[in-house]
Amino acid sequence: MPPKSKVDLYAAIRRDVRAGMSNRALQRKYGVGFRTVKAAVESVWPEPRKQLPPRKTRLDVFKPVIDQMLRADLDAPRKQRHTVKRIFDRLLDEHGAVEVTYPMVRAYVADRRPQIRIEAGRGPLNAFIPQTHLPGAEAEVDFGDVTIRLAGEQVKVFLFAMRLSYSGKAVHRIFASCGQEAFFEGHVHALSVLGGVPRGKVRYDCEDDRVPLRAVA
């Protein structure tokens, strides 16, 4: 079976070179030229393909005009901003863009509008909010069904899990039902193992409809 990728081809050629196969024999075996064999011997990774320049379109000459309209929209009232149709109509009426189609304008505006907002410093910021937890202050509880193999059979059971937010220490317990008694018993067991009750709050993420959903106690 021939190699599936160029990386695999290079690896196969290098293996055969180490086994003593000649360049000409490698060319016949893999159906490649002298340069390919030479490149495989010299480098583990094939050279990346050259990126072709973007193909010119009939819209290219009008892109600066569209950009100008989109930049003007940054400070315009919402109801006065350009729709794609308005941009298309202006290109036809004011610039004679008779060879430009509506789908071409729509695709360009969809890509360019958010870019212009970012260039103007008005785009969405990539940010994150770090979570901090004090020791012993918070915990998280999950209570939902899981499937286990018991005595050779697939059995649906219910897993109670309590995890301390700061340390990550967790307690798990399996129940045959998801009733309120099991829910409370899971708390008693977990708090006993952990050695106390969180001082702040406990977050809940429970799948069963008989216990609070995503509640914060």
The sign of the torsion formed by the CA atoms of 122, 124, 125, 131 equals positive
Q: What is the pTM of this model?
A: 0.40
Query: What is the β-pairing status of strands 138-150 and 201-206?
Result: parallel
The per-residue pLDDT string of the chain (217 residues; one tens digit each, 9 = 90 and over) reads: 566 688 888 888 888 888 888 999 989 988 889 988 888 888 877 777 777 777 889 999 999 999 999 999 999 988 889 999 999 999 999 999 999 999 999 999 999 999 999 898 887 656 667 678 889 899 999 998 888 888 888 899 999 999 999 888 999 999 998 889 999 999 999 999 999 999 998 988 754 444 443 344 4
* Nearby residues of 44 by Cβ (< 8 Å), 6 or more positions away: 10, 11, 14
Which residue type occupies 163? R
In three-state form (DSSP H/G/I as H, E/B as E, the rest C), the secondary structure along the chain is: CCCCCHHHHHHHHHHHHHCCCCHHHHHHHHCCCHHHHHHHHHCCCCCCCCCCCCCCCCCHHHHHHHHHHHHHHCCCCHHHCCCHHHHHHHHHHHHCCCCCCHHHHHHHHHHHHHHHHHHCCCCCCCCCCCCCCCCCCEEEEEEEEEEEEECCEEEEEEEEEEEECCCCCEEEEEECCCCHHHHHHHHHHHHHHHCCCCCCEEEEEECCCCCCCCCEC
